[in-house]
Amino acid sequence: MTQRIAQLGLVKMACLAALACWAAPVMAQERGLSFGYNSYGIPGMIDMPTALGREDGELGFILSHFNNQTRQTLTFQISKRLSASFRYAQLYDVRADPGGAILPFRFDRSFSVQYRFMDEGRYRPAMAIGINDLVGTGIYGGEYIVATKTLTPKVRASLGLGWGRLGTQGGFTNPLAIFGDRFKTRTSSITGFGGTFDPGTWFHGDAALFGGVEWQATDRIRLTAEYSSDDYAREDGAAFTRKSPFNFGVSYRYSDRSTIDARYLYGSELGIQLTYALNPKKPRFGSGLDSAPPAILRRDARSADTWLDPGSDRFAREAGRALSREGIALDGLSADGKTLRIQIRNERYGAASQAVGRAARILTRLAPPNVEAFDIRLAAEGMPVTSVRLQRSEIEDLEFHPVAPDLLRVSTQIVDARDSLPGVIGRYPALTYGLDPYISPSLFDPDDPLRADIGVALSARYEPLPGLVFSGLVRQKLVGNLDNSTRASTSVLPRVRSEAYLYAKGGSTTLPELTAAYYFRPGDDLFGRVTVGYLETMFGGVSTELLWKPQNSRLALGAEVNYVKQRDFEDMFGFRPYSVLTGHVSAYYDIGGGYQGQLDVGRYLAGDAGATLTLAREFDNGWRIGAFATFTNVSATDFGEGSFDKGIQLTIPLDWVTGRPSRTKFSTVIRPVLRDGGARVDVSGRLYETVRGLQATELDATWGRFWR
């Protein structure tokens, strides 16, 4: 009887959803109808998905809980149509297989993707296709196609077809069976290690309908009712008792970024969800809290006898002091007739174009009237990278022009700068140091998913000559629990990463880095690096790198060779017997629109060989969100839990948070599991990230900040 009522309810909801999808000529983006995330952290209703993505670039943090189920999800709206999610769930009393033995507790990691292949029109619905547990254990495995249509500015309905877990309530023969009987059955090939792709199961087996209706009751409150096609076979009767396929929820939008959801689930459970969403394209302080730039001084504003000679020591001192006040260091200077050349290091601004603009403003105040052009060379690690050649008259005439950036860029040359300018007195040798707090987290350990050490780090840097850098980092732990881990490695590979916890047990004072590095320009569009010393916490040795990176090319090519030895667990200066020769050839490509791709092919720390593919989206303000996957000749069985190395890269610029100009960035890698296969040496100062922000492609992308 209950099943019959549920089927009748589904028919009614399907009819309503179908009517919404095909009859109502209302656009989904009408003001007042908000979009939400479901309990899996993907665009959706309560448990079921919808076809409407979130705002382009949005990063959502979703925490959802009901009896014996807690899901934490990070979702990124990669583009207007594509979103991806990483989910970490704590599950109590769940079956490894439907009808199987009950596991008292387990952690589960999984990825999901959704792609909207049709936008909502006047009469057509938005439609999307998605895969849950794309890479994972298969516990949440399921695929779907869903259509969403707006009935009125306040009412929206969705109707979908699900497979896998989403095809278990009221399931029927797969309609894709018309393409072959193989679609009728679903047999997973995922091993106990999880973390593998299993495309042979996608859209196979029984299918089932799901649907729902959402009503924006007020500006802040949205009510939802849905019919779920998930019968929760792994949890029903163990984690909770499922009595109905219907779910009901209320969403309260606390602010533009945060939402609280309360739900009544499956006729027996109460649930709650907290959502916080931000968009890297929308800084907290808008365009920033930068100080006003120096005013441009026209040549006719001063008498001829008050200008300084560009070749004098006094001019160099005055220029150095003026640039330093703007967070710019003067490395070199020369004058040649009507051209004044300076070589600078940007020490403050996230966009190098802003440093160039402020340097140009200062030169208008110092250079004598006969100087017609400024050649401002951007340098990194003592290497000249880029020459920006500006016409002084253009700067004077365009300061207040409404389209000044575009007009100035037309007359500006940005070219490769291979040769350094003569150094200014007092630039070398240079010593800098600092004392800063640090946090060293450890995520997703099955015994304790969140550990961290917090302390202070003393850093020092000594530059005796251009391009030669001695640097070190000493950390003193104040509090933390990284040393509490007792999870012994079971790896059959050389334990290059899986025993990382033993370094935390070695002592509260550590020496993560102590190196000597030399940076140089071996030729046009070429950059080189040699680094020797304690390269990272676990390895020391020699690292060499060569990069080909033309100014206006989307493509860059690099090669790196390292000979390293594993460092001792307890002795900061000692080594263990394991050593290895590693190396990679790399291709970097700017796809366009802020999207970056990188392919590294070579030999890894455990002696395995293969390739790493990285895809990322980078915003003009310095935010970077990416994902990587490494496949080597190590089998899934030998790799162990997770099957292959993969993760999410996240970089957040400090100036986005504070509004104050800064080059400091917080970067982290979120790995579902840290194993030995596919591991690389972590070397500071790799060339691609060192130089590309100073080149024409990046300067063009942020050229509007020249006048800031």
* Chain position carrying tokens 């394991």: 578
**Distance, CA of 320 to CA of 425 (rounded, Å):** 10
Q: Before 429, cis peptide (omega within 30)? A: yes
User: Among residues 642, 569, 604, which one has the least CA distance to residue 494?
Assistant: 604
pLDDT of 657 above 50: yes
Q: How many helices (H) and strands (E) does the chain have?
A: 10, 30
pLDDT of 193 above 60: no
**Distance, CA of 425 to CA of 319 (rounded, Å):** 12
pTM over 0.85: yes
- Helix residue spans in 367-500 (DSSP H): 392-398, 404-411
Q: Mean of the per-residue pLDDT values for the chain?
A: 89
Residues 6+ apart with CB under 8 A from 524: 416, 418
**Distance, CA of 596 to CA of 624 (rounded, Å):** 10
Q: pLDDT tens-digit profile of 264-293?
A: 999 999 999 999 999 999 887 877 788 889
**Distance, CA of 282 to CA of 63 (rounded, Å):** 23
Of all residues in the chain, what percent are helix, strand and coil, respectively (each to 5)? 15, 45, 40
* Chain position carrying tokens 């896998």: 164
> In the 3-class helix/strand/coil scheme, how is 501-518 assigned residue by residue?
HHHHCCCCEEEEEEEEEE
Q: pLDDT tens-digit profile of 78-98?
A: 999 999 999 999 988 888 777
Work out whether strand 155-164 and strand 207-216 pair parallel, antiparallel, or are unpaired: antiparallel
Q: Spell out the long-range contacts of 295-302 with Cβ–Cβ below 8 A and sequence spacing 24 or more.
A: 295/361, 295/365, 296/361, 296/364, 296/365, 296/395, 296/396, 296/399, 297/364, 297/365, 298/364, 298/396, 299/364, 299/369, 299/392, 299/396, 300/369
pLDDT at 192: 52
Binned at pLDDT 50, 70 and 90, residue 339 comes out as very high
> Cα angle vertex 225, ends 252, 245, to 5°?
130
**Distance, CA of 45 to CA of 13 (rounded, Å):** 14
Q: pLDDT tens-digit profile of 129-177?
A: 999 988 877 889 999 999 999 999 999 999 999 999 999 999 999 999 9
Q: pLDDT tens-digit profile of 443-473?
A: 777 667 788 899 999 999 999 999 999 999 9
* pLDDT mean over 39-49: 96
How many Cβ atoms are within 10 Å of 550's Cβ, its own excluded?
15
User: Among residues 241, 255, 247, 245, which one has the least CA distance to residue 271?
Assistant: 247
pLDDT at 228: 97
**Tell me, what DSSP letter sits at residue 367?**
S
pLDDT at 31: 43
Strand runs labelled E in 246-382: 246-253, 258-265, 269-278, 328-336, 339-346, 373-380
Question: Which domains does the chain carry?
Answer: 2-278 (2.40.160.40), 299-426 (3.30.300), 430-696 (no CATH)
User: Among residues 614, 646, 603, 613, which one has the least CA distance to residue 194?
Assistant: 646
**Distance, CA of 90 to CA of 92 (rounded, Å):** 7
Burial 600-629 (b: 16+ CB within 10 A, else e): bebbbbbbbebebebbbbbbebbbbbbbbb
Q: pLDDT tens-digit profile of 241-255?
A: 899 999 999 999 999
Question: Percentage of the chain surpassing pLDDT 90?
Answer: 69
**Distance, CA of 552 to CA of 699 (rounded, Å):** 10
Residues 6+ apart with CB under 8 A from 660: 288, 289, 290, 654
* Chain position carrying tokens 């037309």: 410
Sign of CA dihedral 300, 301, 305, 308: negative
**Distance, CA of 650 to CA of 670 (rounded, Å):** 8
Q: pLDDT tens-digit profile of 217-248?
A: 999 999 999 999 999 988 887 888 899 999 99
- The pair phi, psi for residue 111, each rounded to 5°, is -120, 150
Q: Both ends of the chain: CA-CA distance in Å?
A: 70
pLDDT of 101 above 50: yes
**Tell me, what DSSP letter sits at residue 72?**
E
pLDDT at 194: 58
Q: pLDDT tens-digit profile of 352-397?
A: 999 999 999 999 999 999 999 999 999 999 999 999 999 999 999 9
